[in-house]
Structure 1
Amino acid sequence: MSTLRRMSPRRSYDQYCSAARALDTVGDRWTLLIVRELLAGPRRYTDLHADLPGVSTDVLASRLKDMERDGLTTRRRLPPPGVAYVYELSRRGRGLLPVLEALGVWGAGELGERRPTDAVRAHWFALPLLRALREAGAGEGLVEVRLEEGEFHLHAGTDERRGPVYGDGPAPAEPDARLVLDAGTCAALSRGELDLGEAVRDGRVEVTGDGTVAKTLQAG
């Protein structure tokens, strides 16, 4: 049996408790981080592996099969001329967004200073920035974000259960706002040491654009 088709046996805590049942499904190492990546929409296996530094090919393949079996993801082949398969979250998988957001809030105090061994991807700041935009009352719209580490875009204020929450790279259309900031400011926003309105007023976040989101942030 090939690596991609290998599925690990289902393990269970055998406890009649909803938290234990949830951990039966998402408690394995890497599973929730795969969900984090797939909140950006369909991803190829190679893309997932590139943005999950430290995961082995065997473990990633196994987790993806487990997640498909458990109804968190689906796998489909791209239409011609594409030949690759992509993985995407099911509606049940997208329902883990508030879980990841809550974990991010709970773990924000653990960020501290970035260690020399820490990998970073610009889009890993997407979920904290979405929360910061909500807390700032920025409303709904497409937001492009630029850091030294790269660019990504957010679908702020939309129904996160229906589609991608964020995407890697520039916005696919004219955004309602463009934000330019650094990873240190993103980390401070994540830790709750700084709110987005304050960061804009202090010049730590540069906001441009003509949409409602930009105007709201500029007026705050």
Structure 2
Amino acid sequence: MPVQRGYRQACGIARGLDIVGERWSLLVVRELLFGPKRFTDLQQALPVASPNALSDRLRELTDAGVVRRRQLPPPGNVRVYELTRWGRDLEPIVVALGTWALATPPTPGQTFVSADSAMLTIRTYFTSAFTPTSMPTEQPEATLRIELSDHGPAGVFGVRLTSAGAEVAHEPPEEPDAVLTTRTDALLTAFGCNDLAELVATGAVITGDPEVVRRLIAGVRVPASTDRHSNGTSS
């Protein structure tokens, strides 16, 4: 953030906001948590951001040391943006902010969910403690290829389920245990369910081992919205 628009306070919170408090900055960070992206990829994930605003944010984050630009070697040979090591330290802050905001429901205008945002939900909230009752407590590692059909090539991910959680990457496994093709909204709605019937009814296609998909869906437990005006008390 330019100095004249900064808070001019030594407080760490103010200094942090001077760096990532500008509109779109933290969403750029969110979109880079799974790896580098081209400018066009970021535009697709942040469709409301104007090209000028996105360019400004990337320049400011680069100048601050949060993001860096890199030229991919051939055959890619394109320029990408990626988080620095310091920039990656923002992940728990981004996740905590998102979890805090779950206390209030989205407005009618808040409908778009980027592919990386949906997959960050899996990485954040999947726990092997929540699995279908028909499955044994101790389960082997399993891999999935997830294709979010409404995001095209940007919606293809690999997921590995372990006893410690879910690992997510843009590169899918060569021979996954299961492949799930679905729309983003259908996936988000299905999280926490033990039954895949409703997900399949939306047009989702599952190939391979459906129990692996059921294990994933059942294990993602997103905190429910609460009454933000209750101050933590109940009547």
Q: TM-score, normalised by structure 2?
A: 0.65
Number of positions where the alignment pairs a residue of Structure 1 with one of Structure 2: 198
CA distance in 2 between counterparts of 1:202 and 1:93 reads 37
Of the three residues 114, 128, 136, the one matched with 1:121 is 114
Whether 1:30 aligns to 2:8 is no
Structure 1's unaligned 5+ residue stretches are: 1-7, 159-163
CA distance in 2 between counterparts of 1:120 and 1:216 reads 23
Aligned equivalent of 1:175:
176
Does the CA-based 8 Å contact 2:194-2:214 persist in structure 1?
no
Write the letter of the residue equivalent to 1:29. R
Whether 1:9 aligns to 2:5 is no
> How much does 1:9 deviate?
2.2
Aligned equivalent of 1:45:
39
Write the letter of the residue equivalent to 1:17. C
CA distance in 2 between counterparts of 1:156 and 1:95 reads 22
Percent identity of equivalent pairs? 37
Q: How does 1:1-220 map to 2 (within 5 A)?
A: 9-10=2-3, 11-112=5-106, 115=109, 118-134=111-127, 136=130, 142-150=143-151, 151-156=155-160, 165-167=168-170, 171-179=172-180, 183-184=184-185, 186-188=187-189, 195=192, 199-201=193-195, 203-204=197-198
Aligned equivalent of 2:135:
none
Deviations 1:75-97 (A, max 9, x none): 11122344421111111111111
Write the letter of the residue equivalent to 1:131. T
Deviation >6 Å, runs of 4+: 137-140
> How much does 1:156 deviate?
4.9
SS in 2 for 1:53: coil
CA distance 1:165–1:31, change in 2 (3 Å): farther
CA distance 1:142–1:30, change in 2 (3 Å): farther
Write the letter of the residue equivalent to 2:122. L
**More deviation in 54-63 or 75-84?**
75-84
Deviations 1:103-142 (A, max 9, x none): 2212234444764x74343332111122232364888664
CA RMSD of aligned residues (A): 3.7
Does the CA-based 8 Å contact 2:179-2:208 persist in structure 1?
yes
Instruction: Tell me which structure has the larger Cα radius of gyration.
Output: 2
Does the CA-based 8 Å contact 1:49-1:55 persist in structure 2?
yes
Aligned equivalent of 2:231:
none
CA distance 1:94–1:102, change in 2 (3 Å): same
SS in 2 for 1:200: coil
Structure 2's unaligned 5+ residue stretches are: 132-138, 201-205, 220-235
CA distance 1:141–1:102, change in 2 (3 Å): farther
> How much does 1:153 deviate?
1.9
